[in-house]
């Protein structure tokens, strides 16, 4: 439903192995924004006394107050099990989230199987920007993540009898897709949808996501059908997703659909 358009930017250190965080290429993000980075065999690799892993590095604004960082690792035939720390420009650790456990989330609408962690971050004073470093650990490569069987997910969606099927084991690997969503409480009610930037990038390419007409049509019609079916929880969930994607007019569609039922 969402197409990817934009210019490709080649990063000079793609695929290199480095020993210092300062040698890494960072993807600069705005507040609020959603950014994806693909970790491939060509991804920059950090090897030091603490980390030996392909990494995703995001530069975030640190002078805008409290923010929420939602980090997602997409699950396919394998998954990159993430660990997170926040560092400064010199590579010094500002915040470590070693105790954070990434939770498994089942597929939902346009979202697939995924591991998710929501982190509240209070930037210390004196920094204009900081860096979110996402990596994995060698011991995690021996582990697996259990995901729900597609037959069970389909039965749950249809409200049918749940079949007795086992969960699927997905191995942890050094490749995957990491998404960082950055939001701040002071912006949740006031940000204009046209100011919200959603970007997708790899270490070799950076692409901006734009809302396409078919995506808008999908959400408008789905909201209307949910209201007509008196499934308000689903309608509200669709409305929230449409707003998060910056789709204008979704609130008006919801209100008109509700009023039409009166």
pTM over 0.75: no
Q: pLDDT tens, position by position, for the chain (262 residues)?
A: 222 322 223 333 456 899 999 899 999 999 889 999 999 999 999 999 999 999 999 999 999 888 999 999 999 999 999 999 999 999 999 999 988 889 999 988 788 999 999 999 999 999 999 999 999 999 999 999 999 998 888 887 777 777 788 999 999 999 999 999 999 764 333 443 444 444 444 443 333 344 456 677 888 888 888 888 888 778 887 888 888 777 888 888 888 888 887 6
Ranges of each domain in the chain: 3-210, 213-260
Strands 17-18 and 45-47, how do they pair?
parallel
Q: Residue 216 in 3-state DSSP?
A: helix
Adjacent-strand bridge partners of 170: 145
Q: Quick one: which of 68, 71, 40, 65 has its CA closest to 54?
A: 40
Residue 6's contacts (CB-CB under 8 Å, 6 or more residues apart) are: 206, 207, 208
Q: Quick one: which of 74, 163, 155 has its CA closest to 116?
A: 74
DSSP string for residues in 169-199: EEEB-S-EEEEEEEE-TTTTTT--GGG-EEE
Residue 104's contacts (CB-CB under 8 Å, 6 or more residues apart) are: 75, 113, 114, 115, 145, 146, 147
CATH number of 3-210: 2.60.120.380
């Amino acid at each position: 439903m969402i197409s990817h358009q934009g210019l490709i930017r080649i990063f000079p250190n793609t695929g290199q192995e480095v020993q210092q965080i300062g040698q890494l290429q960072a993807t600069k993000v705005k507040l609020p924004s959603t950014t994806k980075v693909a970790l491939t065999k060509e991804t920059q690799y950090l090897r030091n006394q603490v980390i030996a892993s392909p990494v995703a590095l995001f530069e975030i604004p640190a002078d805008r107050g409290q923010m929420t960082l939602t980090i997602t690792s997409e699950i396919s035939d394998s998954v990159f099990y993430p660990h997170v720390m926040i560092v400064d420009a010199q590579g010094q650790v500002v915040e470590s989230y070693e105790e954070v456990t990434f939770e498994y989330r089942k597929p939902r609408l346009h979202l697939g199987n995924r591991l998710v962690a929501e982190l509240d971050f209070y930037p210390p004073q004196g920094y204009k920007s900081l860096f979110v470093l996402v990596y994995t650990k060698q011991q995690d490569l021996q582990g697996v993540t259990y995901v729900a069987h597609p037959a069970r997910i389909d039965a749950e969606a249809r409200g049918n009898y749940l079949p007795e099927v086992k969960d699927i084991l997905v191995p942890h690997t050094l490749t995957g897709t990491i998404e960082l969503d950055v939001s701040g409480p002071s912006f949740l009610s006031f940000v204009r949808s046209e100011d919200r930037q959603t970007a997708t990038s790899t270490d070799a390419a950076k692409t901006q996501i734009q809302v396409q007409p078919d995506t808008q049509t999908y959400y408008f019609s789905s909201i209307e059908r949910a209201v007509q079916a008196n499934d308000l929880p689903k309608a509200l969930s669709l409305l929230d997703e449409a707003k998060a994607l910056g789709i204008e007019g979704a609130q008006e569609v919801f209100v008109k659909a509700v009023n039409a039922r009166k």
